[in-house]
Amino acid sequence: MNLSGKKSSEHTIHIKLNQLNSNEMDLQKLRDWFDSEEGIKHITDIKNKNKVEARQLERLYESGCFEKLTEKAIEKYNSSEYRDRWYNRGIAPPEDLLFFLFDYAKKYGRECSEEEWIKHGNAFSSGLFFCNGYYFNMMNGQGNAIIVTKCSI
């Protein structure tokens, strides 16, 4: 500190250099982990999961059961019985199938127009796709949620 009680720029530079060195060490640790047996296994597992999901998306597309599956998912996840079973245990209900269907809409549907964003999106929306008569809105806040809206013509 200098005589005025303020930190000198030399002191600030020293702190920033220490932070930089710390960040470089953290980055090196991360690189080392990715090169380790555990890191390679982790990356391989992620790639395998992505391949499985890609095959599942293709199978759903080929089956022509998208609408039927979407309706069943909406009915299940919106039912009081399903939601209460989780909330009574203090857990937010998992909705994994909606995330899968969002990925389907992202792959086989289309991105929504600005007008559709205004109508179906909100401040928390990070992705909005339309597929086979349904809007899929991914929202991010304290968690993630997918809102599916059936298009009314």
Domain range for 134 is: 64-150
Residue 51 forms part of a structural domain: no
Residue 2 forms part of a structural domain: no
Residue 30 forms part of a structural domain: no
Residue 38 forms part of a structural domain: no
Evaluate whether 135 touches 148 at the Cβ level (below 8 Å).
Answer: yes
Summarised one tens digit per residue, pLDDT across range 72-115 is 999 999 999 999 999 999 999 999 999 999 999 999 999 999 99
Task: Kindly list the distances between the CA atom of residue 74 and the CA atoms of 9, 28, 77, 84, 132, in Å, as whole numbers in the listed order.
Answer: 59, 45, 5, 15, 15
Model pLDDT, residue 26: 82
pTM of the full structure: 0.76
Closest of 56, 141, 63 to residue 101, by C-alpha: 56
Summarised one tens digit per residue, pLDDT across range 7-51 is 555 555 555 555 556 667 688 888 888 898 998 999 999 999 999
- Return the half-sphere exposure (C-beta side, CA atoms, 13 A cut-off) of residue 70: 24
Residue 29 forms part of a structural domain: no
Q: Which helix (H) or strand (E) holds 64?
A: none
DSSP-derived 3-state class of residue 31: helix
**Does the pLDDT at position 3 exceed 50?**
no
Query: Is 98 exposed, middle or buried, given 0-12, 13-18 or 19+ CB atoms closer than 10 A?
Result: buried
Q: How many domains does the chain have?
A: 1
